Amino acid sequence: MQLFNASARTQRLLIALSLGMATVYFAALVFMMGIFPPPAPDLSAAQVAEIYAHSNLKFRIGVALTIISGGFYLPWSMVIAVQMDRIEQRTSIWTMLQALTSAAGTWIFALPPLLWGAAAFNPGRSPEITALMHELAFLTFYCAASFFPFQLIAVALVSLSRNNLDPHTAFPRWLGWLTLWTGIVASEGFIGVMFNSGPFSWNGIFVFYLPVLFFTIWMIAMTVMMLRAIRLQQTQAAA
């Protein structure tokens, strides 16, 4: 008996909901808040304060949109749990780990918008206080890599397990290896707390560009394979 189960229609709905929310989330970061890619971490307090004072209303509307859509990662990850549980079934330890870590890790997307909102809430305050909120938000967003690697390890182990024999699986072996590499690259985020500039800072290649690239590729690959698996499983059940 599966711990996680859902109809094909429900799984598609959850994926569509997640992708729609993710689109709103990152569009707001790019076009309304202008902080994706992130600003350099070595800006002065006055320069940081200017980010939040300039077009303050537009920035705060963007914050509101990211707060609304910040939970996008959770319903998408629950579909992963459903598909993983098809493979594990009664011994669902990795499925449980994936579900728990994705739920806990969703705060990485949900908390920073509140901190950006706090920084923009009073543009007339002391720049040093705004800079502190700014730094806390970006360090949380790019450097808090505690949960994500455990989620990816769970997905990779199920993908590469000997029980993954279903020809309609959502986790072919190549996706397991991609997941492992994504976990390795994404776990480098903690380095950002040590550097104020250069390739290891929060806007550098090792903390921002490579993790974002791998995460995007992985999320697209997972989405395509899950939708394919749902379609094939539905056809198999109908037959």
Residue 59 lies in a domain: yes
Domain that holds residue 201: 8-238
Residue 177 lies in a domain: yes
What is the rounded distance in angstroms from the CA atom of residue 115 to the CA atom of residue 98? 27
Decide if pLDDT at 88 tops 90.
no
Residue 33 lies in a domain: yes
Residue 156 lies in a domain: yes
In the numeric block, which tokens belong to residue 45? 């307090």
How many folded domains does the chain comprise?
1
Per-residue model confidence as pLDDT tens digits over 108-125:
999 999 999 999 999 999
Residue 1 lies in a domain: no
Residue 117 lies in a domain: yes
Question: What's the confidence (pLDDT) of residue 212?
Answer: 95
Whole-model pTM: value is 0.93
Residue 3 lies in a domain: no
Decide if pLDDT at 238 tops 90.
no
